[in-house]
A = this chain, B = another copy of it.
């Protein structure tokens, strides 16, 4: 992992500043937030459906996801979370979690007690708005995935997913010369796209064959952005990266 040189709150500030603006005092208040930092291996559950957490999780490094199982054991992944995201921020207002949160890759995480979050928001109403806005964008992403799950075919769904991830990762500064970290297996992709692993494989290969993307070794490179956005009918408006 990278050296712990960066304060854990930096990624959070960067994330918030990708969707809103912060005053120096607000940045300072966030930096002063008490956090417990911890390294977690890949594929670990952080909180489970039905839990009543007393703290929020902040992703500092690595990928996390939110998911739920069908009674028959089929999994749907609702969201992937990247550095700066708080996958269970909603636990602040929804006492018992209606889905699970887990790591996808090895992660460095920070845990923030609810009481500290509440204190921060009480003192800084504009931060309340910022975090609220963040959860609303979360919801906008859900809707966009719903549109895909309900009305787009497999290829379109995959293409738009790749578009979204590139756009989001770019917004928090994780793009390096056209390449973005995306440490997902095809099985995880399948659970997110509502497809079988076999069909994900077919579709990913199709996108590769069409020279739209390269996706290997946990990294995604867009070869043909115009082509990919066209294939995915992608319009980033729903990400509300207004800045």
Contact = CB atoms under 8 A, between A and B. Distances in A.
B147 A146 contact: no
Contacts of A98: 140, 143-144, 237-238, 240
Interface stretch (A1-9, A68-76, A199-207, A212-220): A68-76
Interface in A111-144: 122, 125, 128-129, 132-133, 135-140, 142-144
A231 to B, nearest CB: 11
B238 A151 contact: no
Top 5 closest pairs, chain A to chain B, by CB: A150-B194, A149-B149, A142-B142, A98-B238, A139-B139
Copy tally for this chain in the complex stands at 2
Contact of A135 (B74, B122, B136, B149): B136
Interface of A: 50, 66, 68, 70-71, 74-76, 78, 90, 93-96, 98-99, 122, 125, 128-129, 132-133, 135-140, 142-147, 149-152, 193-194, 233, 237-238, 240, 242
B138 A139 contact: yes
Contacts of A129: 93
10 contacts: A78-B143, A93-B136, A94-B133, A132-B135, A139-B139, A142-B146, A149-B149, A149-B150, A149-B194, A150-B193
Nearest to A140: B98
A150 B50 CA distance: 21
Contacts of A95: 240, 242
Contacts of A125: 122, 125, 128
